[in-house]
Amino acid sequence: MSEMARLEVPIDAPSPGRTPAPEEGSRPDGTDVLRPHESRYLNRELSWLDFNSRVLALAENGSLPLLERAKFLAIFSQNLDEFFQVRVSGLREQVDAGIRSTSPDGLEPNEQLRAIRARVEPLVRRHAAVFTDHIRPELEAARLKICDWDELSDSDRARLEDEFEERIFPVLTPLAVDPAHPFPYISNLSLNLAVLLRDPTTGSEGFARVKVPPLLPRFLALSDGNLFVPLEQVIAAHLGALFPGMEVLAHHPFRVTRDADFDLDDAADDLLEAMELVLRRRTKFGAVVRLEIDGKMSSEVLELLCRELELTDGDVYVVDAPLDLGSLWQLYGLARPELKDEPWVPQTPPVLARSDTTPDLFKVLQQVDVLVHHPYDSFATSVEAFVDQAARDPDVLAIKQTLYRTAGPESRMVRSLIHAAEQGKQVVALVELKARFDEQANIERARIFEEAGVHVVYGLVGLKTHTKILLVVRQEAEGIRRYCHVGTGNYNPKTATLYEDLGLLSADPDLGADLTELFNYLTGYSRQGEYRKLLVAPITLRPELRRRIEEQAAKGPDGLITLKMNSLVDPELIDALYAASQAGTPIDLIVRGICCLRPGVPGLSENIHVRSIVGRFLEHSRIYRFGADLERAEYLIGSADLMPRNLDRRVEALTPVTAPALRERLGEILAINLADDALAWELDGAGNWHRVPTTAGSNVHEQLQELTVQRARAVDARS
């Protein structure tokens, strides 16, 4: 099967008896431009699955280092886990509630679930086949063998028996199911063994569940770390110790995925306590939305699990590989550099690079704005250094920062904020408690900040604070001066080495005034409706982006729109882009993940081209360019994708980048993305993604690395 092969289903077929609205898919003269079964929009959920298919294609790419391919298998697995916990669970809730409202592409919730099932099954088969047929044997050839229990030598089994008795057996809790023992709660994403037993004295048969301890390594290492055995197989081989005197008839691994999408009660008196309640509900009360089993499970055991977990056959996925291949991260963590990408060392931005002394970032920003591009530019010597200098500078009066997905308490930035508070500076940390799956970490971080005297704020009622902004207020001889950072990514040093993101460091007075007012909006009572430079959601972002699209549409072929983002979902802005295309405006969209726009449809979107870059670094920055004239084109960067949630239900901010040299660099980044023919995929009007044919071999990540090194060498040569 080719990398792009997948099951094609009529995802936009209308339900029986329902026809598309007359205006859908029509030219201004009323003639049809789409086939009858097609909607103006692609389905959001299926588009996301197509993105995960592109991730899987990286694992299938034999030219990549072996452990990098194993890593992409793990990412695919974890992505799919989150998809079921959030997106599938939400559709299931709608079906259970009898909701029949349609998505923008015209599908009811039950239709979407059927289409998802049809799309996921072949992806699961591809995923298992890549591991079984390629990754596993290639790991063995590289002296990293994942071995089944039956393949072990007697000496290796003896070593694992000692390991079982000392480390594993004491933490196992077998749970029987009988009239005195109800079916146990199966926790979310847990790996388990279903065990069938017989009492040799009475002949009666029973069922028990054994949970595989998540705190132990998934793969137990032998032979100096070159041989690994799945933990569940070691447990299965010692079931006799868990059920002494009983006969083990069969054992089967299974894994459960639950609904993890619980809403926070914004009206609660204490948001911290309310979020802790949400986390407890996620742990204990989420309905099961997926059951993963291997192909050997008996119908008897499967029927029991489905009955007790209240599942149908449509919720069961058979996996012909070890369950939960997200655990391949364990192998990726091994010290085998020859099986990984060559390490990339981020470089200090040239304007901040000094061979003789640590630069004074305040003096630099008094002269020029600085654009940082991670992971190519160092996060440590730019953003972290900026916060660290602000924390130590006696003239700094206040530091205000939003924190969405933060690093641990040991991180340099967290330490700097705590140090600043201890020095008596006014430090405000807006910690977003609703950052999905990082809630517990953010709760812990908020408490650490509060204990240190940091003013901790949890954002606005009904809105998630997703914007990435930082404000430093400094007393100088001329008066108060404000220094700013507006970014596209989280203030997290770990993701800054893996995610491609941008940030603007500036002392622009208008931008500083805007951030001051935005923080007042976030921390106090404010109804700020206008800003000098920032576009802010949910206030000005949507109408201002639409206005810019319409301005380019009015220019027709002389206009230009180039947008780089993670996801494009919003129907209103998609329609605005369609209208611009119909006016003749060229539009290039670089969309890493979800794209609900159909490009290249005659009479609708023939002037729109959509591509996706998926590779070593996760493309995360948002760059919005409006205008064909390089000197007059407008560039915006920030935290917002073009999705209803970003535009209407989150606090987001985009900032213009006005310095000519920085605008030129943003144009360069977009041009390199559009020229890539090594990592790029293109979307067609039918909703299918295709690899861009490789001719020049242009790899955006490698090219940006090389440009970064060239800039650093130029600085060294001048030193």
The helix (run of H) or strand (run of E) holding residue 83 is: helix 66-83
Pairing of the two strands 479-487 and 587-591: unpaired
Active site residue 419: no
Closest CA to 323 of 597, 74, 8: 74
State the catalytic residue, choosing from 127, 466, 485, 701.
Answer: 466
Q: What is the rounded distance in angstroms from the CA atom of residue 110 to the CA atom of residue 101?
A: 10
| Encoded amino acid at 419, one letter | H
Pairing of the two strands 316-318 and 370-374: unpaired
Cβ neighbours, 10 Å, residue 485: 24
| Encoded amino acid at 163, one letter | E
**Can you tell me which residue has the tokens 């970032």?**
361
Q: How far is CA 155 from CA 146, 168, 220, in A?
A: 17, 19, 15
**Can you tell me which residue has the tokens 């001066």?**
481
Residues 29, 581, 630: CA angle, nearest 5 degrees: 150
Helix axes of 109-130 and 44-60: crossing angle, nearest 10 degrees: 0
- Joined together, the tokens standing for residue 153 give 């030598």
| Encoded amino acid at 706, one letter | E
**Can you tell me which residue has the tokens 């130590």?**
392
- Joined together, the tokens standing for residue 608 give 């729109």
Q: What is the rounded distance in angstroms from the CA atom of residue 181 to the CA atom of residue 347?
A: 60
Cβ neighbours, 10 Å, residue 241: 15
Distinct helix (H) and strand (E) counts, the chain: 21, 27
DSSP string of 406-461, one letter each residue: ---TTSHHHHHHHHHHHTT-EEEEEE-TTSTT-HHHHHHHHHHHHHTT-EEE---T
Catalytic residues: 466
